[in-house]
Amino acid sequence: MKPLVFNATPLIYITKVGLAKIFEQLKDEKLTSPHVKREVVDKGKHKGIPDAIILDEMFTNHVFRVNQVKNRKLLASLRETKGLHTTDAEVLVIARERDGIAVIDDEVARKTASIYEISYVGTPYILIRAVFHRLITKERAKQAINDMILAGWRCSLESYAKIMDAIERCDKRQGRTRIEKPKKQHPNRHSLKELIESKNVKEGGTMETAVKNVRKEGFGILKGLPPFTAKDELTAHD
């Protein structure tokens, strides 16, 4: 099983919506970089953010392990990429060195991972994995997506629908994975409508602060990626 190498975003938002227990329950080895730890724990505690206290305890209990970057040449090369943050660069290098999977949402980071042939997934992957292993229900995963968006996690309307559909179709029975066929009526139509109405979004608009303009690539990652499915989020992008 490949280790998961986390950037700050999934750590912050999954903890923020009250699902930090998922990190402890997933059996994968969970790694991150020194800069990510400083961002989510040290800076967070200095600001008095409750999420930081929970994450600090997880680092103390070795739920997450901090890895130092060894390939300084590759790190220096990645840091020259326009728009790529230091935390993203470190995560990508560690994922390459450990033959792991980078858990990243940033568009530039994901595009860079694709160019360097580094496997990656996004924050929804963690929630779908939790549903797959029956750590949380589908309903709890869907609510988590809504809560993350309201807390500032960015997601296009199109990607929102695809993520919800992926959660709904993810199932595990008798030790095997089963992808359910889509129903004619989208099971999350009302929740999507309510979320849009709560943010006062007019037709053709976007959710205030939390959602970018709709992009056809899905997930707001990069142009040309295939449609998002439950299978996609249960399999890393190589």
Q: So what's the pLDDT on residue 56?
A: 95
> pTM for the whole thing?
0.74
- Assigned token pair, 85: 């943050």
Q: Which one of 3.40.50.720, 3.40.50.2000, 3.40.50.300, 3.40.50.1010 gives the CATH number of domain 4-121?
A: 3.40.50.1010
Q: So what's the pLDDT on residue 170?
A: 84
Each residue's pLDDT, cut to its tens digit, for the chain (238 residues) gives 899 999 999 999 999 999 999 999 999 999 999 999 999 999 988 888 899 999 999 999 999 999 999 999 999 999 999 999 999 999 999 999 999 999 999 999 999 999 999 999 999 999 999 999 999 999 999 999 999 999 999 988 999 999 999 999 987 543 343 333 334 444 444 455 555 565 555 555 555 444 333 333 333 332 333 343 444 444 555 5
Question: How big is the chain, counted in residues?
Answer: 238
Q: Going by C-beta distance under 8 Å and a sequence separation of 6 or more, which residues neighbour residue 205? A: none
Class of residue 167 by CB neighbours under 10 A (exposed 0-12, middle 13-18, buried 19+): buried
In the chain, the N- to C-terminal Cα span, in Å, equals 15
Q: So what's the pLDDT on residue 222?
A: 29
Closest to 234 measured CA to CA, from 125, 97, 136: 125
Tell me where in the chain the CATH 3.40.50.1010 domain(s) lie: 4-121
Cα–Cα distance, 213 to 215 (Å, whole number)? 6
- Reported as a single tens digit per residue, the pLDDT across 193-213 is 555 565 555 555 555 444 333
Encoded amino acid at 230, one letter: A
Q: What is the dihedral of CA 204, 209, 210, 214, to 10 degrees?
A: 30
User: In angstroms, what CA-CA distances link 138 with 132, 144, 166, 179, 187?
Assistant: 9, 10, 10, 13, 11
User: Cβ distance 87 to 7 under 8 Å?
Assistant: yes
